[in-house]
Amino acid sequence: MNSTAVITLSETGAKKAIILVKALGTADLYIHKLVPARYGGRRFSTVQALTHRIFHRYKNLVYILPTGVVVRSIDGLLKGKLVDPAVVVLDVGARYAISLLSGHEGGANTLALHVGNILAAEPVITTTTDAEKNLIVGIGCRRGAAAKDIVAAIRTALRKVKAAPDRVRLIATADIKHDEAGLIEAAEILGIGLRLVTSEEIRSTPKQFKHTPLAIRKVGLPAVAEPAALLAGRRTQLILNKTIIRQVTVAIARENCL
């Protein structure tokens, strides 16, 4: 049995669930019995009965259905934050990926970010320690950039604004960098989540940032670091404009500025 289960009630949710399962690589798919058989998956009759059956058999549970249904379904099953699975709820429109249960200890915060990156959904994380962090570091880098150079660039940029790494909520970049190994490794080294901002968002945003001819030429985007930093958060304002450090472009935005 895989460590993750993806559960949905509807045909619209099933379409999102299939994309998610494929991207995760190893996950079990549960689809309500009334959804057309062509979507496959393991079939169930009610969310509550299914949840009671599988709740402690998986490390991660991703529900693509209303939050209220999930809350009622897990009622009475909780044992403690060190043993309960990570629970993430995604609306069928894939607009929000909500970290509902076991945010830090169970990994739901990280899972919500990962699910959000796959389906271009906004991760919703409400744990206090994350809410206290208000900086987002936008990164642009050449293909194949080394993790050590990215880490060094981020640390140097943070020193420029007199901020410690523990104030950073997210590292952000464009979705075209989804497979950039050095960037992924750098985020892991720093212990900070990596948020992917869609190219469509970058191209269409009304937010003001400096356009970069190199980015337009190389990746077809007006810029990467500045718009990624601005768009990965809420009510953001740049406190460090794009700065090139060791061939890595860094920009830093602060949230809750407006």
Note whether 251 and 238 are within 8 A (CB): yes
User: What would the pLDDT profile of 173-215 be if each residue is shown by its tens digit?
Assistant: 999 999 999 999 999 999 999 999 999 999 999 998 888 887 7
Return the domain boundaries, the chain. 4-129, 133-254
- For the purposes of burial, counting CB atoms within 10 Å of the CB of 47, is it exposed (0-12), middle (13-18) or buried (19 or more)? buried
Fold that domain 133-254 belongs to in CATH: Nucleotidyltransferase; domain 5 (3.30.420)
Distance of alpha carbon 181 from alpha carbon 106, whole angstroms: 25
Start-to-end CA distance of the chain, whole Å, equals: 47
User: What would the pLDDT profile of 86-109 be if each residue is shown by its tens digit?
Assistant: 999 999 999 999 999 987 777 899
Kindly report the pTM of this predicted structure.
Answer: 0.89
Distance of alpha carbon 45 from alpha carbon 52, whole angstroms: 12
Distance of alpha carbon 16 from alpha carbon 20, whole angstroms: 6
Is 70 exceeded by the pLDDT of residue 258?
no
Lowest mean pLDDT among 17-26, 147-156, 169-178, 214-223: 214-223
> Residue 200's CB: how many other CB atoms inside 10 A?
10
Q: How many CA atoms lie within 13 A of 66 on its CB side?
A: 4
Lowest mean pLDDT among 1-5, 43-47, 110-114, 235-239: 1-5
For 191-242, where are the alpha helices, taking DSSP H only? 199-204, 213-219, 225-231
What number does CATH give the domain 4-129?
3.40.50.11220
Mean pLDDT within 109-134: 91
